[in-house]
Amino acid sequence: MKMDISLSKDLFIILAGLVCLIITSPVYAASPSVGNTPANISNNGLAAAQDGYIYFLDPVGDIYAGSSEKIFKIKEGESTPVLLGDDEAWNLNVAGDWLYYSNWSDNHRIYKIRTDGAEKTMIGNDPANNVALTGNWLVYVKWTNTTGAADNNIYKVSLDGQTKIQLNRDQSENLTVADDWIYYINASDGYKPYKIRLDGTERTKIADDQILFMAVADDGYIYYSNYSDGRKLYRINTDSQGRSKLSDDRAGFINVAAEYVYYTNASDSDSLYRIKADGSGRKQICDFGTGPTPINVITNQLYYNRLFIKVN
C-alpha cells in the first residue's frame, strides 16, 4: 500500500519502510473562541490551525544532546516551514494574531507571540501546564511538580495577564476545556475524571474509574484509558451516563475526530490505532517501532511522532 507520510521539515517526503493506513480525517481546527481543540490540548497542544496556516512544535538540535521543541508555522500546501522563535514551547494555542504557549525556556511561564514571531510577551509568572485558551481567558494547571492536594491547582488568567483566579484546590492533571466546562483528572481523588465550570462552580466527579489519559470530544463523550480495568479503552458521557468499553486494547494517548478515536496501543508495541466511536472498525494506522507519543489532529492529517500523516 502506498502511503503519504511527511516530515514536519519537508511536508512532502515519502518515507520508505513504514507501513501505514491511509486515513480520512476532517478539516479540524479550533473555533475562533478557543485556541486549540480540547483533545489536542490533552495531547500537549503540539499543533493548531488557523486561516490556512498550521502552527506546530518540532525539535531543533541534537536529540541526544538535548533538543527542544520550537514553534514553526507553514502555509497549507507549501513545503517549507518558518521558525517563529527560540523558546522551548508546549501547549500551543492560536487566536487572531497571537500564539499562546507554556514557555519551558522560562520556567513554564505563559507567553504570547504574534503569528509572525514578533512581540514576545510574558503573560503570567506561574509555571503552567495544559494551557487552554477560551474566550478572554487562559486556563491552566499551576505546575509545581510536587505532590499533595494543595498543589497543581487550576487557575485562569486574562489574556493581558492582569487578572488571575484560582478555580479549584484539587491536585489536577490532563486539563482540557470544552464549552463552559473544564475537564481534568483529579489526583486528589485517586485519578478520577472531574469537571468544573469556568467560573469555578459545580465541581463534579464524572466516574469512579481511575484513568491515565482522556480526551473530550464534540459528541459529548470522554474517551479514556481505564486504569481500573487494565488500561482498556472506554468512553462515558460528560453527564456521567453511557459508560462503555470500546476495546480490550491497553490505550495510551487518545484523540478524537469525527467518527474515529485514535489511540496508542500498548497491546501492540505502542503502535497507532483507530476505532470508531461505537467500538467497530478497529485498525492499525502505523507502527513506528517507538514508544507512544501524543496524537494531534490538525486539518486533514494527524500530527504524530513529529510527522504529518496526510490524507490523499
pLDDT of 150-188, one tens digit each?
Answer: 679 999 999 999 999 999 999 999 999 999 999 999 999
The arithmetic mean of pLDDT across residues 239-245, rounded, is 97
**Confidence grade of residue 75 (pLDDT, cut at 50, 70, 90):** very high
pLDDT at residue 28 tops 70: no
**Highest mean pLDDT (candidates 34-43, 64-73, 246-255):** 246-255
State the Cα–Cα distance between residues 233 and 251, nearest whole angstrom: 6
Average pLDDT, integer, range 78-102: 94
Amino acid (one-letter) located at 192: K
Return d(Cα 54, Cα 83) in angstroms, integer.
Answer: 12
Q: Tell me which of 63-77, 131-145, 204-218, 280-294 is least confident.
A: 63-77
Asked if pLDDT for residue 1 goes beyond 60, the answer is no
Higher pLDDT among residues 125 and 312, named by residue? 125
With 50 as the cut, is the pLDDT of residue 27 above it? no
Q: What pLDDT sits at residue 14?
A: 31
| Helix or strand (DSSP H, E) at 42 | helix 38-42
The C-alpha atoms of residue 312 and residue 302 are separated, in whole angstroms, by: 13
CA angle, residues 65, 69, 72, in degrees to nearest 5:
135
Summarize the confidence of residues 94-103 as an average pLDDT: 96
Given this model, what pLDDT does residue 13 score?
Answer: 31
Residues 136-155 have a mean pLDDT of 82
Cα separations in angstroms, 66 against 63, 82, 230, 267 = 5, 21, 34, 30
Between residues 312 and 104, the one the model is more confident about: 104
- pLDDT attached to residue 148: 55
State the pLDDT at residue 310.
72
Look at residue 259 and give its three-state secondary structure. coil
At position 159, the amino acid (one-letter code) is L
Out of 6-15, 128-137, 145-154, 264-273, least confident range: 6-15
What is the torsion angle, in degrees rounded to the nearest 10, for the CA atoms of residue 126, residue 213, residue 181 and residue 205?
-110
Instruction: Choose among 145, 225, 133: nearest CA to 185.
Output: 225
Q: Which CATH superfamily is domain 5-310 in?
A: TolB, C-terminal domain (2.120.10.30)
pLDDT mean over 242-265? 95
Mean per-residue pLDDT over the chain, rounded: 87
- pTM for this prediction: 0.88
Burial of 7: CB neighbours in 10 Å, binned 0-12, 13-18, 19+: middle
